[in-house]
Structure 1
Amino acid sequence: MAASELQHEQALKKFLDARPELCVELDNLNPLLAQAKGETLEQFRDERLHEAFEAEAERLGLFAWELTLKLTAATEEDYQAQRLEVHKEVAEMAGMDWLEYCELYGLEE
């Protein structure tokens, strides 16, 4: 079960709440930059927020969906269980052997 849209929105909120400086930066984006990209200021802001979220996930050595789970899981155990479940789904969709997949991504079951 991949992270839901609701989980992702909750994770973005937690992420932003923990970074007041990013919130200020996002609230003060140049509207001309959004216009130049053919986007509304809200779309442009959302894109910058998602970029910051993905950059933080990368910095932590995670996929963005893993950071979403990490920020929304009730406990570390819940996070690990959900993370493994999603990885299993990905391996299955890719038609990969689970042990081979674990080795490729450094997972321990």
Structure 2
Amino acid sequence: MAATEQQHERALEIFLDERPELRIELDHLNPLLAQAKGETAAQYRAERLHEAFEAEAERLGLFAWELTLQLTAASPQDYQAQRLEVHKEVAEMAGMTWADYCQLHDL
């Protein structure tokens, strides 16, 4: 079961709550930059938040969906179970054996 949109939104809230400096930065973005991109200030802010989230996931060596699960799971065991479930779904969609997929992704 891949992370739901609701889980991802909750993960973004947690991520932002843990980084007050990022919240301040996002709250003070130049509205002209949003206008130049043809976006509303809210859209531009959301895009910057997603970029920061994805950069943090990459820094941790995770996919963004893994960081979402990590931040929203009830326990480390729950995170690991959900993570493996998603990886199994991806392996199946890719038509790979579980063993080959695990080897490819160091699982």
Task: Pick the TM interval, shorter chain.
Answer: over 0.9
CA shift for structure 1 position 77? 0.2
TM-score using structure 2 length: 0.99
Moved >2 Å (runs of 4+): none
Aligned residues: 107
Map 1:56-95 onto structure 2 (within 5 A): 56-95=56-95
Q: Supply the distance in 1 between the matched residues of 2:105 and 2:81 (Cα, whole angstroms).
A: 16
Q: Supply the distance in 2 between the matched residues of 1:43 and 1:92 (Cα, whole angstroms).
A: 34
Map 1:39-58 onto structure 2 (within 5 A): 39-58=39-58
Q: Supply the distance in 2 between the matched residues of 1:45 and 1:17 (Cα, whole angstroms).
A: 15
Q: 2:13 is aligned with what amino acid? A: K
Matched, 1:12 2:29: no
Q: Supply the distance in 1 between the matched residues of 2:99 and 2:41 (Cα, whole angstroms).
A: 46
The RMSD of aligned alpha carbons is: 0.3
Which ranges of structure 1 fall in alignment gaps of 5 or more residues? Answer: none
Taking only the aligned residue pairs, the percentage that are identical comes to 79
SS at match of 2:16: helix
TM-score using structure 1 length: 0.98
Which ranges of structure 2 fall in alignment gaps of 5 or more residues? Answer: none
Q: 1:5-61, CA deviations, whole angstroms, 9 ceiling, x for partnerless residues?
A: 110000000000000000000000000000000000000000000000000000000
